[in-house]
Structure 1
Amino acid sequence: MASTDIQSLDGNIQDLTLGRDHATQGPHNVVSTSSKVPVPPPGQTLTGKQEHYLKREMISAQVVYEISELASTTALQRFGAPFRSEFGEVAPVDSDLPLLRYIFVHHVRNFPFLDQAREKEFWQDKLQVFLESFAGKHISSSEDRLEETKRRKLAIKAQKLVELMMVSGIPTASGYEERIRFSELEVVDRGANEQGLLVNAPEGNSINGWDVNVAGVRTTSVKRTVRYHQHAEFLIRVKQAGKPDVYVGRRYGEFSKLHKRLRTELPGRLLAPLPRKNKNHTTSMFLGAGGDDDASSVSSVSTQATGPDDGGSFRHLMGRGHSRSASTQSPSPRASGDFTREKVVLYREDQRVSLRAFLRTFLQNPQIAESKAMQDFLTDRPVKINEEELNDIERRKTMDEKRMEEQRRFYEIARERARELDIYMERFRRDIVERNGLTKLFQEIKDKEKIADLSVEYQKFAEWLRIEVAATIYHVFLSEENSPELLAQAKRIHSMIPYAALKQVIRFANPAAVMSGVLDLFLAQPFGTRSLAQRIFGLALNDGIKSFQKSIDSLVLKIDDPILCEKLKRFCNADEDSKNELRSEAAAEKIDLIVVILRSERFAPDLTPQQIGTVFNAYVAWTNAVENVDEEMKRGAQLFAYLKQLLKMYTRQRDKAQMLSVIEEPVTLHLFRDLFTIFYEPLVRVYKSANVYNSITDFASFAEDMFSVLTTAQRQDVSADPNQTVQSFIDLCARHQDNFYKFVHEVHIHDNGLFTKLMGWLEGILEFLRHGPNGGKLDMNALFQGAVDVGNIDKQTAIAEIDALIKWQEERKKWHQDKTRQKMAADSAVPANGGLTPPGSATFRSSDFGLNEADVADLQDDEDSDEDEDDEQDDADPIAGERKRRAKQADRLRRSAGEPVKPDVKELTGMKEGFLAMLRMVLAG
């Protein structure tokens, strides 16, 4: 987005007022950066900072409770209307889940599609029945690590977002609320954006211990029967800390073998595809000896040398991701003043750069970087480089540097053009963030038939969008290392789509009728039998159940003790209360759940003393074998490893069976049909009345024009005027903007009020974030002044606990700041854009939408502290898998070393009921 001097000034002003919660909360609502002891305002018990962090702590605890309660079968009954309840009518002030109830009533139920759903038929008889049935199945995740990890991440994400929404949205009554903020954090952020290293730089790009560059290409001759055949061999320069640089030569087929080996070595890991073979080569001009200051410049001619192995296609040098190739050199000196030019054929250059991107993408994953396949590929059979190959490597290095410089020039020019629109963009931002700004924007689109008829601010916004879209097209299809592959794929797909036939199908077909017939076909239950959809889902689930059964049978044979296997199976099929008791017992005694299950008398048959001894010995051997004791202990631990795998297989088989039972229930099909009707049919009506089929031709025309501009840009000399390159992409967008606007305009004038409702729904959320729930505010001082009953609480101790929380938050921010700086210093790789910012900087800020920047920063700090873990796969060797898991735990401990520990709060916990009563009143207003 456009960055501007005006916005920079606005940002500096914002820096001074970042701690303010809402603009309406009074002049004292500023950030305290002084080290003096804060004094509460007159008539108040708490300072502004104490108010905020008490509110945040109490809301956070309530959010955690409510999110966890969603797994209960009675959760919806405690919501109140529109759900039925066995407890009678639940009033808003009596809701056990006030935060989630408020979000549901104000931001879910009134969603433009769902607002027409009937209370009894949809919410009670279908959705509530389905969700309560699903919760009652107790789909297990305790032993299924992969599923548990995903659910845990989803729950934590939901918890943080709800907490952010409520903390930012509900203001305090005093208007003195303050946040902690460190201006130094901005310096860190700026440093990250201004870092000069590029991921596409030929040197100095270490990724997980490997600094790799596909530096050159040479030809090798291989004898087949009688004749010699020439092949391209890519020269890979490999650097590792503390080791000398080495070069290895790899043919394209060896890259393919690496891909296959990684699939075998890391089963279940999603791997990036191997770039297609590309045999094109490019002729470029290098300045020879006797040149001037520009002697190091590189340019590609407007034609491309073709050989028997290429398609004669054109390539370019404009952009980081486009390379030329090879080791063959055709000197053709040409006098020009006091210097000469050499014509050089760069052999397989596009392929070289694509393969470099391929390798560096793989090395981003630590597990792949440490794999045996990658180790062998990068270190086996090193080669010696001769003088001709060194010259080729130097030419390609110069090409890489020139491409990066040209990309910088492109973005600088694009930024300059965007900067001219800054004053208009600032006006546009203010129009949008004011009350009903989104509604005004879409009403303008609805009323005006052409972009030229829009108001000045909106026309300038369209001009700014042209620059943004132009830069995006350039970035995706020209400047990335994998851009040649993406462009080739896009052209192939474009050539295969029958646009004319597709237009006629969309024009005359009735999608609503077609989909209704398809639903009838799949969901009909003739004579009460299972529907086709149920049979299809059931077939897939039954295949999964049978697959698990084969694994179970194999493990049972290996364990060779039917009693042990039977106890594990009965545990998996037991009621949830019994399972939870044993899980709690295992956690309390800090022993494995397997031991607790097998020794328990809850599940018949009971074990003999000899069997109990065998299990305990196996558990001890398992623990020791993981620590690499000796081979004999490892063999003894194999029994326990089989038992752990068997429990996991039983658990997953039961989950499949429970999901099958959910599919078999009639309410599932009825709910699916209703959801389709609610969401699909209104959109179909809009698209039919707006004649969307005409846009198919417009899109085909745009794609054809875009590929033409891209081809022209590829042919241009790398030293051509970047202004012309920028303008060509902006002109591309300008030629088709009216067709796009016509599509948007037609959709809006035939929306039957749908988009107006959507904008109203969005503005309802923004209104809550900016002003709170109908003006309601939390009086945090009332908890300490007797206005709210909080029971027998020591108020001084409670205030001391609040101060401890504030100190913890300050220390945590400092720790996170130091950690970020260390990471930047140690990690030479930067984001995929190579440290280059897009043509503009952010036009909108979170404060424009009612989200306090300090609260958003706190949420980001929390997410960074919990770095995502890779989904774990079932290991063929459970002992090796356990070692990996322990290594990950040790790594997590290392990363979190020095992180401040949250202080215990006891008195604040006792204030929960009083705070909850006040929160209910505020949200029910």
Structure 2
Amino acid sequence: MSALDEKIVANGGQTGAGQSATPPDGQILTGKQEHYLKRELISRQVRGEISELNSPTALQRFGAPFRSDFGEVAPVDSELPILRYIFVHHVRNFPFLDQAQEKQFWQDKLQVFLESFANKHVSSSEDRLEETKRRKLARKSEKLVELMMVSGVPTASGYEERIQFSEMEIVERGANEKGLLVNMPEGHAINGWDVNVAAVRVTSVKRTVRYHPHAEFIIRVRREGKEEIHIGRRYGEFVKLHRRLRTEFPGKHLPPLPRKNKSSTTSSWFGSTDDDNESISSVSTQDASASDEATPSTGRTLAPPSESIVRRSLSKSSLRSSKSPRASTEVVSRQTVLYREEQRVSLRAFLRTILQNKRIAESKSMEEFLTSKPISLNEEELIDVKRRKEMDAVRIEEQKRFYEIARQRAAELDVYMEQFRRDIVESNGLTKLFAEIREKPSIAELSPQYQKFAEWLRIEVAATVYHLFLAEDNSPEMFAQAKRIHGLVPYTLMKNVIRIANPAAVMSSVLDLFLAQPFGSRSLLQRIFSMTLNEGIKDFQKHINSLVAKVEDTVLTQKLKSFVDAEEAIKDIIREEAEAEDVDIIVAILRSELIQPELTPEQIGKVFNSWVAWNHAVDNVDIEMQQGAQWFANMKQLLKLYTRQRDKAMMLSIVEEPVTLQLFRDLFTIFYEPLVRVYKSANVYSSITDFALFADDAIAVIESAQRQDASADPNQTVQAFIDLCARHEDSFYKFIHEVHLHDNGLFQSLMSWIEEILEFLRKGPQGGKMDMNALFQGAVGVGQIDKEVALEEINALIKWQEDRKRWHLNKTRQKMAAEGAGETIPGTSTFNSSDFGLDEADLEDLAISDEASDSEDEDEEDDEDDPIAVERRRRIKKQDQLRRTAGEPVKPEVTEVLKLMDPFVVMLRHVLAD
């Protein structure tokens, strides 16, 4: 038995196919069986309730505060008990919304708007064959609601138990290297590419008469099963790559290319006088002001500069000599100027970032950039590669030492942090914390445990600033960008404008201007939205007319249009037929008798033949495009455009409804005005100057750290960043104190709202607990059920959860070993999930579910994309998903457990009816 299997048996308490320990006296179910039965039933109920929200009558079945055509809906009779409970206890009483009036806001505006939206039947993921934002949001919401209910609703027996086996060995093994491996020059393969911008050389290009020097970045490229190569690329070629990727992936968000950075880095190294030739980089003394153009780097490589030039460029005080005890060779500490070093590491970060996207890593542009025109390195360039590698190693070691010192300092505060944690997690802990912030005007006057928390937070912020602006490959680029933005912001002007202006009055007047409806006509905001949507509808129509002309059959195109405009019941029937018979939705629509007119045999034959040609074209990239495949592609695109055109028309009708503007005004009033009152009374404008001073100070500290030699004492570096935070923490605390002092009870209400959620997670609802054993004992009127079969099904679910956790653990271990990606947090962990009523095992299950459902590549497709290319990508994505889930245990089918669903929901309604 492996160590992992022993750990599962030890912590999970299971040795077979879901068989658990003997149930306690008087109980039918073990604690583990109770939990996973409860979880399965809650999961199915949550999924059903969230899917019901698409129904126009969903809110009518909620009960108060929503009106209902079915009469008053009591909490124990609600068809959506879980969502009703969350709404009543955690949505309706949210600060701001707790002042909304029942009839004027909830019924006459929000309910009318949501019901109107549901009746419009805006297209879903099934219609578009792609993930919509609503589908993704619904899936995330489903998992979070499930987590909340599983953790918050306890069982009556008190023996509830989860599968518990630790993943600490993964966390501990990864913690020391996380955040550092991405900067390592070697062994960091990303989607099949292991790249490192290994060195910088200078080439010269002849223009008319003179040769002009240019920096060329040497990239080391490795791929599995292929020989290592080196390529030389100028900055201008990185620009061309970025431009080509934007063309090849229109609409895809690409990371920005680092700006040109001509600065060099000075590093100390130790060598002997016998090794002078190897001690000098071939580019260490080139003029840093040499321009980089986008022209090809043809020409000649410059000869290495003489050592005398290097010696003249260094400070005399940096040269120290000593005698070796074992040889007469003089050992010298030298300084080497690494030409364009910051640009080198920022370009490496850029390459590794874009390679994270699988499609970009497999693109033709990327392959050509990383493989074309390989070069051989001469002796001077090999020496430069060695120096850069040593510099990378020094940088990594400095980061490790920085984080270790930060951890040690944070660990000294563990005793105080434990007391702080207990104060926070106890009843009304957050309210007490913010009450103290309101009462005490400075950090020095806070209670000792809160002062220690401020000290711990100071270390955390210092480490974060260091990580962002010094530790990463892209830190120089990020720091330069932040510095530029800081230099452009007119802080004094902003302060005076905010101090004089009245944002509430200004926004109210602007809102009146845009929402006014003179003589009952449309408002300015409605006209703006309508104009935008109408332009979109017209653009769609232009493309539609073009495709209709290519199809050359108005009967077929009209049938597609009729399907898009048909009732949802008819659409559902046709979709089910397409899925059941495994045919394309286009084929199912055109042959359906539910959509008129019916097709002739010739038309049906053309549709089927083109569908076959379409599938052949999608499956075979290299074949010549057939006419039938292109015709079917036009039909696919036409259906997509009809669907999106109808969506815009539905949105236009929603915008033009009076209730939409009324709801917008109410939401603005509810959320914006209280915040503006707080901001105005707290004199927030004074904090703008404080932030400007902090930014100036931070820039000075970071620049000082950049100038330091790599061998500088990391204790001094840590202390410099901690002192930076210490100098400005009083100004930050003053801002928080002033806001809470003038919040008119807003933040106190917010803390109370958060604590109500935590109270539910820790203790459950006031209506009682779920007696899972009563479901088997017939206490709630269970129907005919085979208890033995039901217990076998529950054990099978437990076994599936065990296997699933083991599969995810092994998969995570393999991924970390292969990539080692991540970030490190220098400080210590202060809070545990159990402090907030969330079991760690439930959070692990949520993470597994998220990873299984999330797609690796979530590109949105443009209407102009080739339908065949889009279909290929969709199928590749599906195959990728299958590969990612290869070996994942299959959830067992259950039948007897489902018979417990109705009595379980009855019990759940009573528990949540308070």
Answer yes or no: same fold by TM over 0.5: yes
Contact kept, 8 Å, 1:286 with 1:298, in 2: the verdict is no
Contact kept, 8 Å, 2:186 with 2:196, in 1: the verdict is yes
Change (3 A) 1:17 1:100: farther
Instruction: Deviation per CA, 1:1-25: give whole Å up to 9, x if none.
Output: xxxxxxxxxxxxxx99999xxxxxx
Provide the rounded CA distance (Å) in 1 between the counterparts of 2:458 and 2:598: 74
1:154 aligns with 2:137: yes
Instruction: Deviation per CA, 1:122-141: give whole Å up to 9, x if none.
Output: 00010000000001100012
Q: 1:226 corresponds to which residue?
A: 209
Q: 1:575 corresponds to which residue?
A: 567
Given the alignment, which residue of 161, 171, 179 partners 2:154?
171
Q: In the TM superposition, what is the alpha-carbon distance from 1:191 to its structure 2 partner?
A: 2.7
1:830 aligns with 2:818: no
Q: 1:675 corresponds to which residue?
A: 667
Provide the rounded CA distance (Å) in 2 between the counterparts of 1:643 and 1:260: 32
Provide the rounded CA distance (Å) in 2 between the counterparts of 1:419 and 1:449: 28
Contact kept, 8 Å, 1:706 with 1:732, in 2: the verdict is yes
Q: Which moved more, 1:397-406 or 1:586-595?
A: 586-595
Instruction: Deviation per CA, 1:735-788: give whole Å up to 9, x if none.
Output: 111111111111111111111100000000000000000161000111111110
- Describe the SS at the equivalent of 1:286: strand
Contact kept, 8 Å, 2:270 with 2:334, in 1: the verdict is yes
Q: 2:334 corresponds to which residue?
A: 342
- Describe the SS at the equivalent of 1:288: strand
Contact kept, 8 Å, 1:216 with 1:327, in 2: the verdict is no
Matched residue pairs, number? 876
1:900 aligns with 2:889: yes
Given the alignment, which residue of 527, 531, 534 partners 1:539?
531
Q: 1:649 corresponds to which residue?
A: 641
Residue type of the alignment partner of 1:83? F
Instruction: Deviation per CA, 1:184-205: give whole Å up to 9, x if none.
Output: x332333332447711111111
Given the alignment, which residue of 873, 892, 902 partners 1:884?
873
Q: 1:137 corresponds to which residue?
A: 120
Provide the rounded CA distance (Å) in 1 between the counterparts of 2:14 and 2:524: 66
Contact kept, 8 Å, 2:762 with 2:836, in 1: the verdict is yes
Instruction: Deviation per CA, 1:195-240: give whole Å up to 9, x if none.
Output: 4771111111111111111111111111122222111111111111
Provide the rounded CA distance (Å) in 2 between the counterparts of 1:757 and 1:449: 21
Q: In the TM superposition, what is the alpha-carbon distance from 1:893 to its structure 2 partner?
A: 2.2
1:53 aligns with 2:39: no
Given the alignment, which residue of 771, 790, 796 partners 1:798?
790
Q: 1:625 corresponds to which residue?
A: 617
Residue type of the alignment partner of 1:178? E
Provide the rounded CA distance (Å) in 2 between the counterparts of 1:269 and 1:462: 42
Q: 1:11 corresponds to which residue?
A: none
Q: In the TM superposition, what is the alpha-carbon distance from 1:890 to its structure 2 partner?
A: 2.4
Q: In the TM superposition, what is the alpha-carbon distance from 1:574 to its structure 2 partner?
A: 1.2
1:103 aligns with 2:62: no
Provide the rounded CA distance (Å) in 1 between the counterparts of 2:191 and 2:781: 56
Q: 1:477 corresponds to which residue?
A: 469
Contact kept, 8 Å, 2:63 with 2:73, in 1: the verdict is yes
Provide the rounded CA distance (Å) in 1 between the counterparts of 2:441 and 2:187: 53
Q: How does 1:575-654 map to 2 (within 5 A)?
A: 575-628=567-620, 631=623, 634-654=626-646
Given the alignment, which residue of 858, 862, 868 partners 2:855?
868
Provide the rounded CA distance (Å) in 1 between the counterparts of 2:520 and 2:274: 87
Q: In the TM superposition, what is the alpha-carbon distance from 1:353 to its structure 2 partner?
A: 1.0
Given the alignment, which residue of 28, 32, 35 partners 2:13?
32
Q: 2:907 corresponds to which residue?
A: 918
Q: 2:105 corresponds to which residue?
A: 122
Q: How does 1:43-442 map to 2 (within 5 A)?
A: 43-142=26-125, 145=128, 148-183=131-166, 185-195=167-177, 198-289=181-272, 307-309=288-290, 330-332=309-311, 334-338=319-323, 339-442=331-434
Q: In the TM superposition, what is the alpha-carbon distance from 1:879 to its structure 2 partner?
A: 2.6
Q: In the TM superposition, what is the alpha-carbon distance from 1:83 to its structure 2 partner?
A: 0.4
Change (3 A) 1:408 1:188: closer
Residue type of the alignment partner of 2:844? A
Residue type of the alignment partner of 1:868? S
Q: Which runs of 5+ in 2 are unaligned?
A: 1-5, 293-302, 324-330
Q: In the TM superposition, what is the alpha-carbon distance from 1:149 to its structure 2 partner?
A: 4.1
Q: Which moved more, 1:88-97 or 1:859-868?
A: 859-868
Provide the rounded CA distance (Å) in 2 between the counterparts of 1:450 and 1:641: 68
1:759 aligns with 2:751: yes
Q: Which moved more, 1:604-613 or 1:92-101?
A: 604-613
Residue type of the alignment partner of 1:830? A
Provide the rounded CA distance (Å) in 2 between the counterparts of 1:523 and 1:304: 65
Instruction: Deviation per CA, 1:385-410: give whole Å up to 9, x if none.
Output: 11111111111111111111111111
Given the alignment, which residue of 424, 439, 443 partners 1:451?
443
Residue type of the alignment partner of 2:146? E
Residue type of the alignment partner of 1:828? E
Residue type of the alignment partner of 2:846? L
Provide the rounded CA distance (Å) in 1 between the counterparts of 2:495 and 2:164: 55
Change (3 A) 1:550 1:18: farther
Provide the rounded CA distance (Å) in 2 between the counterparts of 1:195 and 1:410: 13
Change (3 A) 1:298 1:812: farther
Q: In the TM superposition, what is the alpha-carbon distance from 1:828 to its structure 2 partner?
A: 3.2
Change (3 A) 1:682 1:726: same
Residue type of the alignment partner of 1:233? E
Q: 1:853 corresponds to which residue?
A: 840
Provide the rounded CA distance (Å) in 2 between the counterparts of 1:291 and 1:412: 37
Provide the rounded CA distance (Å) in 2 between the counterparts of 1:16 and 1:763: 35
Residue type of the alignment partner of 1:897? A
Contact kept, 8 Å, 2:491 with 2:692, in 1: the verdict is yes
Q: Which moved more, 1:276-285 or 1:838-847?
A: 276-285
Instruction: Deviation per CA, 1:847-894: give whole Å up to 9, x if none.
Output: 000001111111111122224242342574333332332233223223
Provide the rounded CA distance (Å) in 1 between the counterparts of 2:506 and 2:280: 58
Residue type of the alignment partner of 2:187? G
Provide the rounded CA distance (Å) in 1 between the counterparts of 2:94 and 2:230: 60
Provide the rounded CA distance (Å) in 2 between the counterparts of 1:173 and 1:283: 68
Instruction: Deviation per CA, 1:266-321: give whole Å up to 9, x if none.
Output: 112111111111112234443221699xx99999xxx999854599xxxxxxxxxx
Residue type of the alignment partner of 1:864? E
- Describe the SS at the equivalent of 2:830: coil
Change (3 A) 1:712 1:633: closer
1:693 aligns with 2:690: no
Provide the rounded CA distance (Å) in 1 between the counterparts of 2:196 and 2:621: 41
Residue type of the alignment partner of 1:228? Y
Q: 1:22 corresponds to which residue?
A: none
Q: In the TM superposition, what is the alpha-carbon distance from 1:45 to its structure 2 partner?
A: 1.2
Contact kept, 8 Å, 1:808 with 1:902, in 2: the verdict is yes
Change (3 A) 1:341 1:532: same
1:717 aligns with 2:700: no
Provide the rounded CA distance (Å) in 2 between the counterparts of 1:243 and 1:63: 51
Provide the rounded CA distance (Å) in 1 between the counterparts of 2:786 and 2:815: 43
Provide the rounded CA distance (Å) in 2 between the counterparts of 1:513 and 1:567: 53
Q: In the TM superposition, what is the alpha-carbon distance from 1:686 to its structure 2 partner?
A: 0.7
Q: In the TM superposition, what is the alpha-carbon distance from 1:722 to its structure 2 partner?
A: 1.1
Provide the rounded CA distance (Å) in 2 between the counterparts of 1:85 and 1:124: 10
Provide the rounded CA distance (Å) in 2 between the counterparts of 1:119 and 1:762: 23
Change (3 A) 1:481 1:81: same
Q: Which runs of 5+ in 1 are unaligned?
A: 1-14, 20-29, 312-325
Change (3 A) 1:230 1:31: closer
Provide the rounded CA distance (Å) in 2 between the counterparts of 1:447 and 1:721: 41
Instruction: Deviation per CA, 1:611-653: give whole Å up to 9, x if none.
Output: 1111111122222333329957833222111111110110011
Residue type of the alignment partner of 1:881? V
Change (3 A) 1:31 1:767: farther
Change (3 A) 1:282 1:154: same
1:844 aligns with 2:826: no
- Describe the SS at the equivalent of 1:337: strand
- Describe the SS at the equivalent of 2:599: coil
Q: How does 1:514-529 map to 2 (within 5 A)?
A: 514-529=506-521
